[in-house]
């Protein structure tokens, strides 16, 4: 139980933060974030959650701004932490892996905001951010695949790797051809919520519902992996179909 203490601390921060966010909304209205509104909601992640995320992480990016940390440094730190999440997953520390993946994603969402506020946006920075994101996703899913290498869950993880690789690739291909392709069930923000959180909380849930095991199954993590495997491939397919349909209509 002692080993789960850090997880309870982090959970407590986000739960108490959400309670404070609801009180803030009740008294003064929803603290709207222009950047989140410009990106829009999705079927799996509404604006309420997006505004909460922007509000709860505001102290982080404001602190980084005050400390004069560059957007590139934040991008590199996000990538390093994301790669560590894959190593932690491969070694079986799924709770740690999940929280590292989530924190990496939070930093990844922060670097662009810092760059825009400092007017440091560049194509090189955008390319670096996008490429490192692919490394992080592959490292995390690869680490989980290694952990579940003797289980049927490996098939789901291979499907998830395929879907998460194709989704940004089809988007990039579409944009190169002059077509914006930002819709879909499972994008990066959704992956943090529907994969990162279940993996992070899986040791806690496992401790509560199952007897101690030398190699626990982590049922909540499997549920998150299943959702990702299905929705990421659905997203890739719908983007692929939309791309072909649009190209077919062009002369």
Angle (deg, nearest 10), helices 58-66 and 47-56? 40
Measured in whole angstroms, the distance separating CA 223 from the mean position of its chain's CA atoms is 16
Whether 14 is covered by a domain: the verdict is no
User: How confident is the model at residue 2, as a pLDDT?
Assistant: 41
What is the domain range of residue 240? 33-249
Mean pLDDT (the chain, rounded):
83
pTM score > 0.75 for this model? yes
User: How confident is the model at residue 145, as a pLDDT?
Assistant: 96
The total number of structural domains in the chain stands at 1
Whether 91 is covered by a domain: the verdict is yes
Whether 27 is covered by a domain: the verdict is no
Give the whole-angstrom CA distance, residue 159 versus residue 166.
Answer: 11
pLDDT, one tens digit per residue, over 116-174 is 877 777 778 778 888 888 899 999 999 999 999 999 999 999 999 998 888 888 888 87
Q: For the domain that residue 105 is a member of, what is the CATH number?
A: 1.20.120.1760
Ranked by mean pLDDT, the top range of 49-53, 108-112, 141-145, 165-169 is 141-145
Measured in whole angstroms, the distance separating CA 77 from the mean position of its chain's CA atoms is 15
Question: Does residue 211 surpass a pLDDT of 80?
Answer: no
Whether 181 is covered by a domain: the verdict is yes
Whether 69 is covered by a domain: the verdict is yes
Whether 184 is covered by a domain: the verdict is yes
pLDDT-derived band at 7, boundaries 50, 70, 90: low
Q: What residues does 45 pair with on adjacent strands?
A: 42
Contacts of 48 (CB under 8 A, 6+ apart): 30
Q: What residues does 42 pair with on adjacent strands?
A: 45
- Catalytic site residues? 133
**How much is the CA Rg of the chain, to the nearest whole Å?**
19
Question: Does residue 102 surpass a pLDDT of 80?
Answer: yes
Give the whole-angstrom CA distance, residue 23 versus residue 74.
Answer: 31
Across the range 25-31, mean pLDDT stands at 85
Across the range 206-214, mean pLDDT stands at 72
Whether 16 is covered by a domain: the verdict is no
Whether 166 is covered by a domain: the verdict is yes
Give the whole-angstrom CA distance, residue 199 versus residue 193.
Answer: 10
CA distances from 133 to 80, 122, 137 (A): 11, 17, 6
User: How confident is the model at residue 36, as a pLDDT?
Assistant: 72
Give the whole-angstrom CA distance, residue 85 versus residue 99.
Answer: 8
User: Residue 45 gets which letter from DSSP?
Assistant: B
């Amino acid at each position: 139980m002692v080993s789960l203490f850090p997880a309870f601390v982090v959970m407590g921060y986000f739960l108490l933060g959400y309670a404070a966010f609801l009180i803030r909304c009740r008294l003064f209205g929803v603290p709207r974030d222009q950047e989140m509104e410009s990106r829009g909601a999705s079927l799996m992640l509404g604006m309420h959650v997006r505004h909460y995320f922007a509000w709860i992480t505001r102290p982080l990016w404001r602190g980084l701004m005050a400390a004069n940390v560059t957007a590139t440094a934040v991008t590199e730190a996000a990538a390093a932490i994301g790669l560590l999440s894959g190593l932690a997953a491969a070694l079986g520390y799924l709770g740690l892996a999940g929280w590292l993946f989530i924190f990496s994603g939070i930093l990844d969402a922060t670097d662009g905001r810092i760059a825009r506020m400092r007017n440091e946006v560049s194509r090189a920075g955008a390319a670096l951010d996008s490429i490192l994101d692919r490394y992080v996703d592959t490292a995390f899913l690869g680490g989980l695949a290694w952990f579940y290498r003797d289980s049927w869950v490996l098939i789901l993880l291979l499907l998830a790797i395929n879907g998460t690789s194709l989704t940004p690739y089809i988007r990039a291909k579409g944009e190169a051809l002059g077509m914006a392709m930002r819709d879909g069930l499972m994008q990066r923000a959704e992956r943090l919520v529907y994969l990162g959180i279940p993996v992070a909380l899986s040791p806690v849930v496992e401790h509560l519902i199952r007897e101690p095991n030398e190699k626990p199954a982590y049922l909540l993590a499997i549920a998150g992996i299943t959702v990702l495997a299905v929705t990421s491939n659905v997203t890739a397919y719908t983007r692929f179909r939309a791309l072909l349909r649009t190209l077919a209509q062009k002369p």
